[in-house]
Structure 1
Amino acid sequence: MLSRPERRNALDGTSIAELEHALQQADRDPAVRAIVLSGAPPAFCSGSDLKELATMSIQEMCDSESDTARVARSIAGMSKPVIAAVEGFALGGGFVLAISCDIVVSATDVRWHLPEVPNGWLPPWGLQALLARVGPVRARLLTWAADAMNGIEAHRLGVADYLSDPGAADQTALALAQRLAALPPDAVASTKRFFEPFVSLDGERLDNEASRHFARNCEGGAAQHIFSKFKVKS
């Protein structure tokens, strides 16, 4: 579980390291057959922690986001299915982390949104996961972030795979996990390995390309204005 409720489960260096460790540990444990990733209330994840990023140079920001990208990409290569249980909202990096999971369960009232372009920069990682789910034309439109969408619309577009009532995403995800856990584990792992190239095709290269765009965008006035709001005033 992502557990920084005071920061709406925003992704910082510590939480990403903890998530990587938890995923690796679960994947190595033969008693674990399926994994559910959720967020402590009130939300799944509000994205990258801009308060932390605002303290960094542009290169340090790119390095930090690359670490997050690597962890998100690693989900496709795991031997166990990973299910995102999404409540409240999934914004920016939280949106992309959720769709990097094998299965996405969304409550109907979840707010899904990619706010990066309005903030002044291209999302620096994870766009391959969006491409795999909705195709390039729809992915481009969602990345332009014209409108936030609820869980019902996310499900219609293929961003989410299953819907639940508000407050029931965890239960729905756990029920799916139990169904997958009851299947022969070698066959489940083989299924992930077979489909991995189609799901994550060229993901690392695309993340590196997005990171270069991100770095250039962060030099611009719109991005600098956003980051200035999160810097600690002396």
Structure 2
Amino acid sequence: MAAAATPTYSHILFHVDGRIAYVTMNRPEKRNALSVAHMQELIACFRAIGEDRTIAAVILRGNGPAFCAGHDLNELVGRTPDFYRYVFDVCTTLMETIQSIPQPVIAQVHGMATAAGCQLVATCDLAVASEDARFATPGVKIGLFCSTPMVAVSRNLPRKKVMEMLLTGEPISAQEALRYGLVNRVVPREALEAETRALAEKIAAASPFVVGLGKQAFYRQLEMPQPQAYAYAREVMSFNALAADAQEGICAFLEKRPPRWGGYAQGPDRSGEA
């Protein structure tokens, strides 16, 4: 996504700094509520990032007082069943796209992350939260149970805690989110941007080929029975071991020098084959 080719969005901002992409939800007056148009722009942006081999990691954040307030409720009044299915199909596509691109996506969370906003945090590969962040699935309070957010949140937090959040709609603090595994770290608000960037830079220092391969393998094995997961992981790791970056990394470690990564576009290193 070279500068000249960067698309113009109405609901998000996008820019690249070094090898880190920033996707900023930009509906501050709506607390970055996810309208259909907003979600479609996020999908398009993440798909384009997935095709850009110069980008190593992505930071997803929100402008204004909140990270994301969930679905735009103005779109959910007096519509047809087909429209409601469409809204939640688009939302599902957004979440699946975030996890399908090779680059890790880090949520940079401040303020409230509620309903589909909490789902976004749970869906991202990593999350850094400021001390003021709060997380909730409050749909039950307005008669719309957070069923689709439940899918992502229940894959991050213990069952009883998720049920408490879903059944009461009450928020949890950033420290609770850390304790229960929804976020990776909690930092002071003034350090949020720098700490998230530092985490992204650590990822960007690794082989992008290996990171992408590993992210894909992680999500594929997650729901497999253990024997099937090991069988799948064995094949992935065997393929990985043949790759040029794996051989380079091993040799660099043994030779006590920094590795020189080859990038995304590589398969197994067959240079030694007859």
TM-score by length of 1: 0.80
Whether the 8 Å contact between 2:174 and 2:186 is mirrored in structure 1 is yes
Of the candidates 132, 136, 140, which is equivalent to residue 117 of structure 1? 140
Match of 1:145 in 2: 168
Gaps of 5+ in 1: 202-234
Question: What amino acid maps onto 1:122 in structure 2?
Answer: F
For 1:61, the equivalent position in structure 2 comes to 84
Residue-by-residue CA offset, 1:170-195 (whole Å, 9 max, x unaligned): 22211111110110111111211111
AA aligned to 1:192 is K
Structure 2, gaps ≥5 residues long = 1-23, 225-274
Task: Please list the CA deviations of residues 176-227 of structure 1 after superposition, one character each: whole Å capped at 9, or x if unmatched.
Answer: 11110110111111211111125577xxxxxxxxxxxxxxxxxxxxxxxxxx
Q: How does 1:1-234 map to 2 (within 5 A)?
A: 1-199=24-222
- Go from structure 1 to structure 2 and tell me whether the alpha carbon gap of 1:122 and 1:87 turns closer, same or farther (over 3 Å shift): same
- C-alpha distance after superposition, 1:110-159 (max 9, x if no partner): 12111112221222414232222113333222221353111111111111
Q: Is the 8 A contact 1:87 1:167 kept in 2?
A: no
The total of aligned residue pairs comes to 201
**What secondary structure, in the 3-state scheme, does the structure 2 residue paired with 1:122 have?**
coil
Q: Which has the higher contact order (CA 8 A, sep 6+)?
A: 1
Q: Which moved more, 1:68-77 or 1:6-15?
A: 68-77
TM-score normalised by L of structure 2 = 0.69
Distance 1:133 1:114 in 2: 14
Identity rate of aligned residues, in percent? 27
Give how far 1:43 is off.
Answer: 1.0
Give the conservation status (yes or no) of the 8 Å contact 1:38–1:84.
yes
Q: Distance in 1 between matches of 2:120 and 2:94?
A: 9
The structure whose residues are more often strand, as a share, is 2
**Bigger proportion of residues as helix:** 1
* 8 Å Cα contact 1:46/1:90 also seen in 2: yes
Structure 1 or 2, whichever has the larger Rg, is 2
Cα deviation, 1:19-55, whole Å, max 9, x if unaligned, reads 0111111111111000000001211100000012215
